[in-house]
Structure 1
């Protein structure tokens, strides 16, 4: 079997691990890393060593394309740059995998969709949460009609003080870079909803605020390493205590000025850290969603309310107490008719990122003949719909108005099937 020759674009944490070292370790018979591209050459060199590759390094995609024959580009750069790289690769006749979110703005969505249609090449969006064993089981239960017609969903996501704060240390803390966490982080969650419900979001209303980070902080400094408040700051990050982050970011910061330990209390941070959203779907499902970024726990709670019952999950990813290495889905029936009123469905965690979801996604993309019974493989329309939901939520939170997806991008609403049915 011929290997797919791929170029890795962007050598941050995700590119170096998920799409670098881990991909080569588990899928080497399917792929060959032939080029690494990053505007920071020192970071690229450090990443190449961590990956265990001898691929040549380039500072831009055009220089790489001039010298290398590649079948696939994997995009792991900051969100606002995705569209330029994706479109350039498509126009060069190359398939693309892009990290989520696919992009950050409506005009950028249009560029990607137009380029994919024009070139006939394929874009995969890295929605690995679809592939986690528990998410797959919930999708199976919904598809089987176990709770009848779904009428509403309660969905609440919690980031702990380590993970949540990280978004406010880095480039994500500015709307122009990430589209806010409504786009960068919640794109996962909105995509899950679109996929679970097999429908498109129709109208969105939201409230959001900066409650803890940024200007709400009691003090601030230039960065953690140079801050006079390290002894009293709950969010102090000691880069030297993390050899991986220190190697990948500290010395390379001398080239581009990007510090991995930016102050979470910077006064110019302009994204919210506390968010609530209401969504009405095309199939009349109503959703209540929230995202909080400074909790003592990490994980989520989701409940599907249907005409015949309820499916509920409380998944802990990190918490200050022991939990079993498994998830328990509660299936509660209104009208048992000979079945158990309450059924507890235990789903063991699998090894690897996202409880095995990362590995399952890479299998689906790279191994031939994989059957996609649940429509897990996500393409540009799925990527677009999740981003549009985030854009609508941010817009609503700032304007106080209900935002219709059709007002943001009419052509995608009239373009046919729901995101899950046109995932590829």
Structure 2
């Protein structure tokens, strides 16, 4: 195939090596050709290249890679706070970009990316694979079809278990300067789903957030799991040597960059919350109640859409200490049946692959020519910006105790009339009382 996309992979951690490396070449080799790998850690890059089964040249410098390899597509899988620098350089070199979420971590970084995309005429895609999961697509179809009328509110609660949730506190994600907090790094997925489901823009956010389990709340701490004197007593002990994949990518390479994959989850300088709640008001007057918890015995989420004609509800389990069938069940409940069913149980089988097939569908959409997008699942830089702004606003609200309005954070991203709703103004209740 002569029109293959010539792509460069920047960042060879877990995600880059698997989804955008080994898996991408295994399933989409007819559409892409890996022409360069870039990482600041040469040993990690070499080991990732072996795992990917590629002979692409390795670069320690993005500028040199762009100049010499001249890719037409750059896939960015580096720590969140570095995305903007790499994305902008790639766009300015004439390449399109796929970036892992979140697209950026601050308003200024968002602005840099949007300005560069507009200036260069190239395209940024954000890896929002949850949009492509079969169950999410089915819910979107039901909402767009008006099955529950106009949506008025959403209950959305995400649960990370003690394996997945704790992992964010072992790594660089545990510092707000690097990740923007989990309101940005993790919840960007969830805020994007809301923005996409509701086909609207978030306007106002209020939030609470605390550190309840990790960091300084821990009973003891050590330099890292491998060297910790408390490993026998710690529920969160990670034996990196027991995972050959992670051990190869991170243990010996840590001697070069000092990055330990098994950092102590109780480090006292961890500065992100682990328990978060937020309320969002959308410009179409939908109200959302959202929460994110990071040390649960289950993994998955609950979401319910309340509308003028009924309710759509999903409880999705991703990991839990009991068996569940390989499918999701969406509940469609109508207020007034009027001769039809008052209740439908809609079964959506899980598809193979990451995120129940969402990873594969995302790669198809971006990389296969001629793909149609009837549900608007492909997410560009504006979608990436809106989801990050939700997280930035939530963290600011949790820290300040005030309502935060997204159009005030980044006015140029919003069009049309802006609600005159000040940070310190309390919303009126029915009857005009406060």
Question: What TM-score bracket applies, with the shorter chain setting the length?
Answer: over 0.9
Q: What are the Cα deviations for residues 67-89 of structure 1, in whole angstroms up to 9, with x where unaligned?
A: 11211000000000000000000
C-alpha distance in 1, partners of 2:277/2:367? 37
| Structure 1 residues 217-271: Cα deviation after superposition (integer angstroms, max 9, x where no partner) | 0000000000000000000000000000000000000000000000000000000
Match for residue 421 of structure 2? none
How far 1:415 moved relative to its partner? 7.5
What SS does structure 1 have at the residue aligned with 2:333?
Answer: strand
Task: Give the whole-Å Cα distance in 2 for the aligned partners of 1:94 and 1:278.
Answer: 38
Partner of 2:167: 166
In the other structure, the counterpart of 1:337 is 338
Structure 1's consecutive aligned runs of 4 or more residues displaced over 2 angstroms after TM superposition are: none
> How far did residue 414 of structure 1 move?
2.3
> Which deviations, in whole Å up to 9, do the C-alpha atoms of 1:305-352 show, x marking residues without a partner?
000000000000000000000000000000112221110000000000
- Residue in 1 that maps onto 2:428: none
Q: Which residue does the alignment assign to 2:225? A: 224
Shift of 1:292: 0.1
Helix, strand or coil: the match of 1:101? coil
Where does residue 261 of structure 1 map in the other structure? Answer: 262
Question: Where in structure 2 are the equivalents of 1:19-418 lying within 5 Å?
Answer: 19-414=20-415
Q: What is the alpha-carbon root mean square deviation over aligned residues? A: 0.8
Distance 2:61 2:326 in 1: 43
Tell me, in whole angstroms, the C-alpha distance in 2 between the residues paired with 1:157 and 1:385.
19
TM-score (ref. length: structure 2):
0.95
* Aligned equivalents of 1:309, 1:373: Cα separation in 2: 24
2:185 is paired with a residue whose SS is coil
Q: Residue 35 of structure 1: CA displacement?
A: 0.3
Distance 2:367 2:413 in 1: 28
SS in 2 for 1:183: helix
TM-score (norm 1): 0.98
Residue number in structure 2 paired with 1:15 = 16
Q: CA deviation at 1:60?
A: 1.3
In 2, Cα distance between equivalents of 1:338 and 1:301: 29
Deviations 1:98-139 (A, max 9, x none): 000000000000000000000000000000000000000000
Aligned-partner Cα distance in 1 for 2:67–2:95: 13
Distance 2:16 2:249 in 1: 11
Give the match for residue 425 of structure 2: none
Question: In structure 1, what is the Cα distance between the partners aligned to 2:169 and 2:414?
Answer: 33
Q: Cα deviation per residue 1:378-418 (whole Å; 9 max; x = unaligned)? A: 000000000000000000000000000011001101279xx
Q: Distance in 2 between matches of 1:340 and 1:75?
A: 47
Counterpart Cα distance in 1 of 2:108 and 2:325: 45
The DSSP-based 3-state class of the residue aligned with 1:70 is coil
Counterparts of 2:223 and 2:160, CA distance in 1:
25
In structure 1, C-alpha distance between the alignment counterparts of 2:114 and 2:416, rounded to whole Å: 12
Q: Distance in 2 between matches of 1:178 and 1:73?
A: 21
Q: Whole-Å Cα distance in 1 between the matches of residues 336 and 372 of structure 2?
A: 34
